[in-house]
Structure 1
Amino acid sequence: MAKHYIILIFFLLLISSFCKSDDQLTRTKPLTDHDILISKDGDFALGFFSPDSSNKSFYLGIWYHSIPGARTVVWVANRDDPITTPSSAKLAITNGSQMILSSSEGRNIWATTSNIATGGAEAYAVLLNTGNFVLRLPNTTDIWQSFDHPTDTILPTMKFWMNYKAQVIMRLVAWKGPDDPSSGDFSCSGDPSSPGLQWLIWHGTMAYARGTTLNGVSVTSSPYLSNASSVLYVTGVNLGDEFYFMLTVSNGLPLARVTLDYTGVLGFTSWNNHSSSWSVISENPKAPCDLYASCGPFSYCDLTGTAPKCQCLDGFEPNDFNFSRGCRRTLELKCDKQSRFVTLPRMKVPDKFLHIKNRSFDECTAECTGNCSCIAYAYANAGAATDSSRCLVWTGDLVDTGKTVNYGDNLYLRLTVDKKSSAIKIVLPIVACLLLLTCIALVCFCKYRGKRRKKEIEKKMMLEYFSTSNELEGRFWKSLQDVARKYELDWSTRFKVIKGIARGLLYLHQDSRLTIIHRDLKASNILLDKEMIPKISDFGMARIFDANQNQANTIRVVGTYGYMSPEYVIGGAFSTKSDTYSFGVLLLEIVSGLKISSPQLIPNFSSLITYAWRLWDDKKATELVDSSVVDSCKIHEVLRCIHVGLLCVQDRPDDRPLMSSVMFALENESAVLPAPKQPVYFSPFNYKVGEARENMENSANPMSITTLEGR
């Protein structure tokens, strides 16, 4: 027995000698291809790796050790000098306090720099919990750190210096390909022509994409994800001639990083434990028109709609049909009193500006107004004790401009006043008074005629929709709601009904001659024929969009509460994504056999959406399935339906999928779906729409809005 114990101990010591797993490297303990350093919390590892299965090239790098699946590398030492024989490579600390990666032939593959004259023999390297690999002395003086030499990734607590003493000193360089960590064609850094104000993604030496221009504030902080006890945000620190960004993640939130990938996209991602994948928080460029100057001069990339596209600035018109040559003025600009400035809000200001410091807003306005060459200006002031004003003026073509939804600057654009339009402004009030009486007389007639015409169009479009089937409306007997009360539908029938409703909505939104928004999709408005084939009915509240319209607003909110999307209930905004939300509610009802507002003796049931999310988040989604079909259903189909339903009822319209994506997800089991976001809280109590809006305005947390149930 003692002999066996001795053999076991010897075997364990042998393994440990070949596979070191601590976090430190010392002069007497170099790192070889069998070794690995692991940070104390276990999140990061350092060692030798091969990025593909060929095992022809090896690199010294740092990667996430705590996440499953493929290795996610965050730093590479010898990216442009791969190791061909890993058994010959060794990372060691010299007497001169350097780290050197060398081969057995004595060739130095990679090395750190050091200015330490004495005490180098005591130096050691440690892999910190932040993923930073630090070479330091016993007195904790840091000689070198990997955070000062990033490759393609920014990690939390890393200071990414955009500008230091008017010099660009840090640059992210993308991998050449998904399995090739050598330096690629894309890089990211601060803009050397405007230190401390903006960053650029480069394709070689050409600008590829540009971020928003900073406002000159000393310290900025932009939150991206948060919960009750923790927050994830990006901080920018501007020290005048020094500027850096830092990503911060507090305790309780997942791993996060900023990465420039080999396609030129700068992405802010976080690790999703539910899907075991990286979720995108934000990325740049956001669309093809967001590439640098892709819309041409005096045009901008409009990111406010569901489909980003190039648009001309106010007072300009396209030079051609595809914006390849930008836009031109509709009226020639003249330097006289006939010029004026129009305000364009929420703009990503153009590139190629002149930055004027120490100016108030009025002084900035005067700088541009008094200069005939100045065609636009923008101003920001953070109100700090030191000068943090930012006056930007433009004298040349306005390029790489954008328009956003929630952020941006006011851009003041110089235009020529049309004298004809000025004369019209004088005559117009007189003409308006004369026309007013005529308009009043015509209103009643037009209103009556408009309602009649609208009903004719809606009837025609509805008949067009029903003509796609061999069944006429009169041959349907009951609605989905009536059938569900009387019969217990098996899973295959329910799944067929779900896909049939999705096809119907896809036809209304995309395949019909005009886009139709139903606005009242619910179980009682789904007709079933004898073959249980569904058809959407009751188009009395439907609205028709033309080819260029994707959203509308109404003061009079109509529909069935519980099925209505938050943006429609609170603000009166509706679009195809409003119907997508209603479809998501209907899908969850079909899967569960529950109504949106029916607790069915379920404890803590506030609404079907929150109940479904709670089960999904707790990995108990199968408990949502109707007990009458749970034993006979296909679990993978049920889980996919629940997943799709939760994607459809997300709060933001832009987060919801189009019905074409819904159909693809339902009919293709291999389709990869993003993780759904947690929905807002829905109270079971009934409020009026006005009260819901008031709750939103008065609530400290605008996401805790209550909405209505029942009709």
Structure 2
Amino acid sequence: MKGVIRRRNHFCPTLLLFILFSFHASRFAFSADTLLATQSLTTNQTLLSSSQVFELGFFASGNSKNWYLGIWYKDIPSRTYVWVANRDTPLTNSSGILKISNQTIVLLDEGNNLIWSSNQTKASNPVMQLLDTGNLVLREANESNQYLWQSFDYPTDTLLPDMKLGWDLNKGLDRYISSWRSTDDPATGDFSFKLEYRGFPEIFLWNDEQKEYRSGPWNGQRFSGVPEMKPTDNLSFDFVTNKDEVFYSFHISTKSLYSRLTVTSSGQLERYTWIPDTQVWNSFWYAPKDQCDNFMECGPYGICDSNASPVCECMRGFQPKNPQAWNLRDGSDGCVRKTDLQCMSDKFLRLKNMKLPESSTSSVDIKMSLKDCELLCLRNCSCTAYANSNISNGGTGCVIWVNELSDMRQYAEGGQDLYVRLAASDIGNDRNVGALIIGIAVGIAVLLLGLGCCFIYKRKKLLSVCKEERAIQERSQDLLLNEVVISSKRDYSAEKDKDELELPSFDFVTISTATHNFSDEKMLGQGGFGRVYKGRLVEGQEVAVKRLSKTSGQGIEEFKNEVRLIARLQHRNLVRLLGCCIEMDEKMLIYEYMENRSLDSVLFNKAKSSLLNWPRRFNIICGIARGLLYLHQDSRFRIIHRDLKASNILLDGEWNPKISDFGMARIFGGDQTEASTRRVVGTYGYMSPEYAMDGVFSMKSDVFSFGVLVLEIVSGNKNRGFYHSNSELNLLGHAWRLWKEGKGLDLLDTSVGNSFSSSEVLRCLQVGLLCVQERAEDRPTMASVVLMLSSETATMPQPKTPGYCLGRNPFETDSSSGKNDESFTVNQVTVTMLDAR
């Protein structure tokens, strides 16, 4: 009996330890990807997909005390969340419980109150499983491929491979992605990317109830508004439309490659791919990326072309509906027909490389030929245009439009043919036109031959005289304008003559009237080359007028340079030049008026700086970055600004930033990386060391100036310029010291208040310090900067010592910048002129 008792005494503790260990293991870890109906998941536990690609668990976002249930990539160091269950109903603490109850997935708080749940199902033995695709599913235990509910049907801000964006028409289920409210708040934000299945299906980016961007309809190969959308060995696209569903998806053939499509809290669509070698998310594609991506930029029947200047034009047979606004580069009213249609006698104008018009009210027949499509459109007097619905294999199918054509765009390559209905008189008979041209050419051939020799002789003589005069005039300058023109002609041989301004020209009387005869009450500020006035044109539009001083011997070349450059630049974060006036010895530039003036007039004004809360500051930083990226990479020219500073950043009525003042800008050729000059221009505190000391400038010079701007925006303090060896006296040194001490948040301007994202502030601080590193080759490109600012998960290197430059103290009375060293007014465009060292 004693022996038995001993054995039992020995056995019981072992059994107890086994039971406790089993309970502990089930309580604090799940090595599998599946949760049974008898189990639950708490905030200190996670589910792992079978290949450990994705992880599901609880998380707290930023400094918030709220907790969420979400899915993220397991092996990516900085968490990238791809789905959030309770994004709009957070847990108030970490005591959450996830389990299956009544055939439904439920999330409960510590008081067993329901926080979130999936749809009700009729499962008899349900299990919850996290798949390697990132899909959380509820299914029967013995049916692995039949899902009763899945998270892929209820996306948040991210579209993953093989995930459907679009409609299940049988269930009335609309699957779309919507942004986080901010980078730290997963609640539903303002922006969403939704598929419109009616008509010819396409996808829209919405800002609340307003359309911001349109993909264009699927044409069998890609969305017609995304010409760069091309399959690769690893990436393919799929678009399905039938009576049961209409959806878009993409597929990754390599399991080790991660890719995702996200709509950001700032309203940007971004496709990212993960690069293991660099441990960063690479921005593979984004939209909207230029002015023509803005929805209805050129209005009904207007065509937007980002390679044209201005970007809006009316097609043949149409004219601007509002000529005054059109001449001021506001094409939103669109175009109207010159000649009324006559139905059966009408003809069709073929437009190539087009983004098809908005298609929600169009009609589609996938079996009809293009010729039959033309006949169908011709017989329907309401039909305004037609096109192939599928451009693969030479083109098939028919789509016709019966309403006005809107949001059209023309590409240099890509897009597809669109046939627009016009009155026969607006098209004419091409054969007769051709014969007429030939006849005229033959008729005047003799005359041309006779005049040719005389013309050539006189032209050579005139060019010789002009060449001598131009050489005398430009020898005293930095040959800035010549370099601009040479670069333009080298890269774009089709550009107009260099003396053609390509801008609306205003007469002096109009501008004088608009500014009350340039009265002091209308003066906004005074720059290095003249004054800036606020004006109101006859039609009511407010403008800013930059008037070159007659007595100034400087600025003529800068004036010409700015006109020729900015006339070709189109981006939401660049100031828009409306026209110019060259009359009566006057030289003036007319800009759009910025209601909130220049950044420095608010940022460095203690009475106004509180208007710039953190979301506005972060938006300003990101906007400047996107504008600078456009100049460096995405515009038709590679442009170095050379004078980026707070006074050259203008703020519109919604506090969106716009880069201004291109008088000092330089164009680089396609393979050019840097240049040097003996004429160093810029402003103390913003110039990179290699530029200020040696006259060497490049894209990295602008990156340095941007970094200074970032630190100024974060701190609300102005960088006090280049001092002697005591680097601690300026903003860069102060920021660097706080960063090294782990006190980065101490740099934040106190006027921001308490409503800010710590992670965003620290990210901006790190980006700013990376941009102002001493060695130009250590500084990131603007493409990398935009990625680092827009992604919480991008891995950023640690910054090195900032670049300090030995130079004069700007408080010295003989500062080479003179009295115009600092600028502080709206649309003010001052430039600091320095002697070469």
TM category (shorter chain) comes to: 0.5 to 0.7
Q: Match of 1:674, as an amino acid?
A: A
Find the counterpart in structure 2 of residue 99 from structure 1: 105
1:583 match: secondary structure: coil
2:161 corresponds to which residue?
A: 156
Q: Which of 197, 209, 226 does residue 213 from structure 2 map onto?
A: 209
- The one of 299, 306, 313 equivalent to 1:296 is 299
After superposition, give the CA deviation of every residue in 1:371-396 in whole Å (9 maximum; x if it has no partner): 33323222234689xxx954222333
Looking at both structures, which has the greater relative contact order when contacts are Cα pairs under 8 Å and sequence separation is at least 6? Answer: 2
Structure 1 residues 451 and 176: CA distance shift in structure 2, 3 A: farther
Residue 482 of structure 2 corresponds to residue 393 of structure 1: no
2:188 alignment partner, one of 183, 187, 191: 183
Q: Residue type matched to 2:443 in 1?
A: L
**Could you tell me which residue of structure 2 aligns to residue 246 of structure 1?**
249
Could you list the per-position Cα deviations for residues 29-50 of structure 1 after superposition, in whole angstroms to 9, with x for gaps in the alignment?
A: 3211111223343332211112
Instruction: Return the TM-score normalized by structure 2.
Output: 0.52
For residues 286 and 324 of structure 1, what CA distance do their matches in structure 2 show?
A: 19
Identity %: 27
Instruction: Indicate how the Cα distance of structure 1 residues 355 and 424 shifts in structure 2: closer, same or farther if over 3 A, else same.
Output: closer
| Rounded Cα–Cα distance in structure 1 between residues aligned with 2:454 and 2:337 | 38
> Could you say which residue in structure 1 is the equivalent of 2:556?
none
- The reply to whether residue 374 of structure 1 matches residue 401 of structure 2 is no
Match of residue 261, structure 2, among 258, 261, 270: 258
> Which residue of structure 1 aligns with residue 274 of structure 2?
271
Matches within 5 A, 1:418-437: 418=425, 429-437=438-446
Flag the 1:581–1:432 CA change in 2: closer, same or farther, 3 A.
closer
Give 1:361 shift: 1.7
In the alignment of these two chains, the number of paired residues is 504
Tell me which residue corresponds to 2:348: 341
Aligned-partner SS, 1:147: helix
CA 1:58–1:246 in 2, change beyond 3 Å: closer, same or farther? Answer: same
Counterpart for residue 115 of structure 2: 109
SS in 1 for 2:388: strand
* 2-structure distance, mates of 1:452, 1:545: 27
TM-fit CA distance, 1:25: 2.3
Maintained 8 Å contact 1:236/1:243: yes
Distance 2:446 2:772 in 1: 52
CA contact (8 A) 1:233 1:249 kept: yes
Alpha-carbon offset, residue 108 of structure 1: 0.9
Which of 413, 420, 423 aligns to 2:420? It is: 413
CA contact 2:384–2:421 (8 Å) conserved in 1:
yes
Matched-pair contact (CA < 8 Å) for 1:231–1:253 = no
Where does the alignment leave 5 or more consecutive residues of structure 1 unmatched? 1-6, 470-503, 520-543, 551-573, 588-636, 645-661, 677-711
Give 5+ residue unaligned stretches, structure 2: 1-16, 492-562, 570-635, 640-666, 677-696, 705-770, 786-837
Q: Give SS of 1:344's match.
A: strand
Distance 1:278 1:456 in 2: 58
Cα gap change, 1:370 to 1:31, in 2 (>3 Å): same
Residues 168 and 125 from structure 1, CA distance in 2 versus in 1: closer, same or farther, beyond 3 angstroms? closer
Q: Aligned partners of 1:364, 1:402: CA distance in 2, in Å?
A: 22
Instruction: Say whether the 8 Å CA contact 1:162–1:189 is kept in structure 2.
Output: no
SS at match of 2:330: coil
CA distance in 2, matches of 1:390, 1:193: 17
The yes-or-no answer on 1:674 pairing with 2:684 is no
What's the counterpart of residue 51 of structure 1? 61
Alpha-carbon shift at residue 107 of structure 1 (Å): 0.5
Within 2, Cα distance between the matches of 1:507 and 1:639? 19
Which residue, 30, 33, 37 being the options, matches 2:40?
A: 30
- 1:55 to 1:185, Cα distance in 2 relative to 1, 3 A: closer
Give the match for residue 85 of structure 1: 93
Cα 1:144–1:546, aligned 2, differ >3 Å: closer, same or farther?
closer
**Contact 1:197–1:215 at 8 Å: present in 2 too?**
no
Structure 1 residue 446: deviation in Å? Answer: 4.5
Q: 1:458 to 1:193 in 2, by over 3 A?
A: farther
What amino acid maps onto 2:57 in structure 1? G
Q: AA paired with 2:318?
A: F
Corresponding residue of 2:203: 199
Secondary structure at 2:175 match in 1 = coil
Look up the match of 2:448: 439
**Distance apart, 1:298 and its partner CA:** 1.1
Q: Is this contact kept in 2: 1:134–1:145, CA < 8 A?
A: yes
**Is the Cα contact below 8 Å between 1:216 and 1:390 reproduced in 2?**
no
Within the candidate set 51, 54, 59, 1:41 is matched to: 51
Give the match for residue 479 of structure 1.
none
Equivalent-residue separation in structure 2 for 1:50 and 1:246 (angstroms): 30
Report the equivalent of 1:599: none
Match status 1:282 vs 2:292 = no
Partner Cα distance (2:774, 2:449) in 1: 52
- Inter-partner Cα distance in structure 2 for 1:166 and 1:463: 77
Quickly say closer, same or farther: Cα 1:516–1:111, change in 2 above 3 A.
closer
Aligned to 2:313: 311
3-state SS, counterpart of residue 130 of structure 1: coil
Q: Deviations over 1:67-126 (max 9, x none)?
A: 233x2211000011000011x2111123x33221101212111112343352x2xx3322
TM-score when normalising by structure 1: 0.60
CA distance in 1, matches of 2:772, 2:468: 26
SS at match of 2:783: coil
How far apart are residue 338 of structure 1 and its match?
A: 6.2
| In structure 2, C-alpha distance between the alignment counterparts of 1:99 and 1:299, rounded to whole Å | 51
Select the residue among 348, 363, 368 that pairs with 1:355. Answer: 363
Q: Do the aligned partners of residues 180 and 138 (structure 1) sit closer, same or farther apart at CA in structure 2, a change above 3 Å counting? A: same
Shift of 1:668: 10
Aligned partner of 2:91: which letter? I
In the TM superposition, residue 192 of structure 1 has moved relative to its aligned partner by 4.2
Specify the alignment match of 2:476 in structure 1: 467
Asked if the contact 1:515/1:545 (under 8 Å) is kept, the reply is no
Superposed CA deviations along residues 591-644 of structure 1, whole A, max 9, x for unmatched, are xxxxxxxxxxxxxxxxxxxxxxxxxxxxxxxxxxxxxxxxxxxxxx99979x99
**In the superposition, relative to structure 1, how do residues 576 and 186 fare at CA in structure 2: closer, same or farther (>3 Å)?**
closer
When structure 1 is superposed on structure 2, of 414-423 and 269-278 the one drifting more is 414-423
- Residue by residue over 1:164-192, the C-alpha shift from the partner in whole angstroms, topping out at 9 and shown as x without a partner, is 35956212222222222111222222214
Shift of 1:269: 1.9
AA partner of residue 299 (structure 1): G
Alignment of 1:260-659 (within 5 A): 260-303=263-306, 305=307, 309-318=311-320, 319=322, 320-321=325-326, 322-329=329-336, 331-335=338-342, 339-352=346-359, 353-357=361-365, 358-381=367-390, 389-418=396-425, 429-447=438-456, 467-468=476-477, 517=489, 579-584=668-673
Does the CA contact (< 8 Å) of 2:638 and 2:669 recur in 1? yes
The one-letter code matched in structure 2 to 1:438 is L
Deviation at 1:586? 9.2
Kindly indicate whether the alpha-carbon contact (under 8 Å) linking 2:357 and 2:408 is maintained by their aligned counterparts in 1: yes
Give the C-alpha shift of residue 268 in structure 1: 1.9
**CA 1:217–1:268: 2 relative to 1, 3 Å:** closer
User: Within 2, Cα distance between the matches of 1:103 and 1:183?
Assistant: 21
Native 8 Å contact 2:123 2:148 kept in 1: no
Distance 1:427 1:142, change over 3 A: closer
**Superposition CA RMSD, Å:** 4.6
Bigger mean CA deviation after superposition, 71-80 or 176-185: 176-185
Name the amino acid aligned to 1:315. G
1:332–1:438 CA distance, 2 compared to 1 (3 A): same
